[in-house]
Structure 1
């Protein structure tokens, strides 16, 4: 997996999609550079979704959440395109996919090695700082396989 450079600046390019102030993403040229660096063609839809995804720092989004943000920003994109784009960005290492219970998939803009808390009450995923989780030993893997990564999701909820 390639490393992803941080492309977060306050300025916005004039060609970025019209959006409400809280939806401002990273500059248009940074998204172009990010996509090109991993061999993805910077299509209009990838550009708009990348602009929304990476402009707010490290975050965890479902496809539905990104689709809603795109709709609010007046970005004409289908939910299927959002799914396809998120999967493409995951395949090239710009996003990390985190599954919760096999029923909900989040896409994490922080692709570094880290673990997560899942807040059951809000259906929210938040990062656990690396130093708080220690894995003493990994299991023996079948012949011909290797461990790609270990994901730990700690489910938490508010006390009753």
Structure 2
């Protein structure tokens, strides 16, 4: 039996702290920040492949268009390159996980905050997995235009 998810959702970090670090000159905006939020095609895929980490993005301005790396398709038990619709892919999340994810996602968009959440997914291949979802908002000025992040299979942690 899989453990129950905690009800308290306090797994987010403020994006403004990153921006304050830029203002103080502690980070190089053109290197670390923009690279961290670069489109998937521009991310160092070798690092992701070595660690078995899946990369994803959701474009809020383009109808919640999803982009996944091959590792995310594998975690969800879906054929690589399959057409993705967010309304369908959220159906793979177990009910408690989906509810927690949707609350944190809405909060992330509204307050420009990232989050980390361990979720249960029921893959298209019939496998039930624990997946760590790491999400951060991508902003254009004060407006959140997308979410991007990583997905990791952490089933072994819960075995």
Q: For the superposition of Structure 1 and Structure 2, which TM-score range results when normalised by the shorter chain?
A: under 0.3
Greater fraction of residues in strand: 2
Q: Find the structure with the greater CA-based Rg.
A: 1
| Structure number with higher relative contact order (C-alpha < 8 Å, ≥ 6 residues apart) | 2
TM-score by length of 2: 0.26
TM-score by length of 1: 0.26
